[in-house]
Each structure stands twice: as structure tokens, then as C-alpha cells.
Amino acid sequence: MRHMPPVLESEDFWVEHLTDVPDNLRLLKAFRSHGNASGLEMYLKELAIRDEKAHESRTYLVKDAMTGELAAYFSLRSCLIPISVTKTLFDTIPAIEISNFAVNEDYRAKQRAVSKIGAYAFVKFIRPLAIQASTIIGAKWLCLYALPEMKLIDYYSGLGFTRLDKDRELFVYSHVKPKYDQDCIFMYQNICSE
């Protein structure tokens, strides 16, 4: 049962904020991420509520419209991306970061007929929320730090993300790359119309 109206909804899924429904805390316990993304599962179960209270990020749950099962989750936060202009000067690009994004493997196993949950969540929920936020606070990019696996890099490229050139990528890493994303690859896409 929903206590608050969904943040966004489609025919197949709806998105609600992590703390909008008390039962969401129970759903977190059953969330399972892909084997190489255990940090994403740990974040949802152990850190997401702390980050909510500290106003460091907002976490959203993607739920199946028929069953109410937790299909995926994502976390968004604002950020500034430093871009070198010259050897001694840099500028910043305002952005919205997808700081966490994972599909529930238990849901995927039970709902085998449902495919491309992550891409669906991105197109229907994540990108629209980021665009909406950018009209309120001002942001040019939607960005993320992808696990350093070619399959995942290609997946995000298929969703419209790209990498910076090598020098700018290294500049970003030397200034703002979070420690927990140490081996990850910065990727971005434009979310504003110029």
C-alpha cells in the first residue's frame, strides 16, 4: 500500500522516495545486487538512510506496478565537475550524479519475462528526474562513475553516456573522484538544451 503518491510512474513500474513508505525498509533487506556490485547492495541496506538524513543524496525505489516488488533503486545527488581550461585554470560544470544504480537480482530471477529493467528505469525515471531537477537548480550534465568493465561501459554508452578525453578525465579524477569509486570510470551526458 502506498502512503505517498509516487514520484513518477509508468504502466509497469512506479518510483517512490526511499523514506515515503515505512514498508520500504523491509524491502531493502531482500535486495540482492549482481555479484560484482556488492557495494551497491551494501549502500542501499546500510548507508542510504544515513545519506538521506544528512541531505547528501536521495534514493528512489523502482517498484513493480502489479506486485509492489522492489525491482531496482537509484540515488541522485548534485555535484560540480571540474574541467581544466589551462594548466593553471579550471571551470566547473554543474551536474547531477547517479551515485548508485542497481537492479534487484531476486526480482530479475522471479520476473524472467521482464527484461532491460535498468535501461527502462533510466529512460522512464532517472533521466526525467534529473532533467526536472536541472530546471530547478541548474545542471548541465547527468554523470556517474561506472565499474571498470567494458560490458558496463558499453551499456552506459548505449544509454547516451560518454567519457571525457584522457586529460580531462585525469583532471576530474585528481579533484573529485570519491574514494569508493576509485577504480570506476567517469561518464556523462548533457541534460540541458543549449
Please report, in tens digits, the pLDDT of each residue of the chain (194 residues total).
Answer: 445 666 777 888 999 999 988 889 888 888 999 877 788 999 999 999 999 999 999 999 999 999 999 999 999 999 999 988 888 889 999 999 999 999 999 998 888 767 789 999 999 999 999 999 999 999 999 999 998 889 999 999 999 999 999 988 888 888 886 666 667 899 999 998 65
Residue 130 confidence (pLDDT): 95
Cα 143 to Cα 189: distance, rounded to the nearest angstrom: 6
Cell output for 88: 593553471
What is the value of pTM for the model shown? Answer: 0.90
What structural domains does the chain harbor? 8-190 (3.40.630.30)
Q: What CA–CA distance (Å, rounded) separates 122 from 15?
A: 11
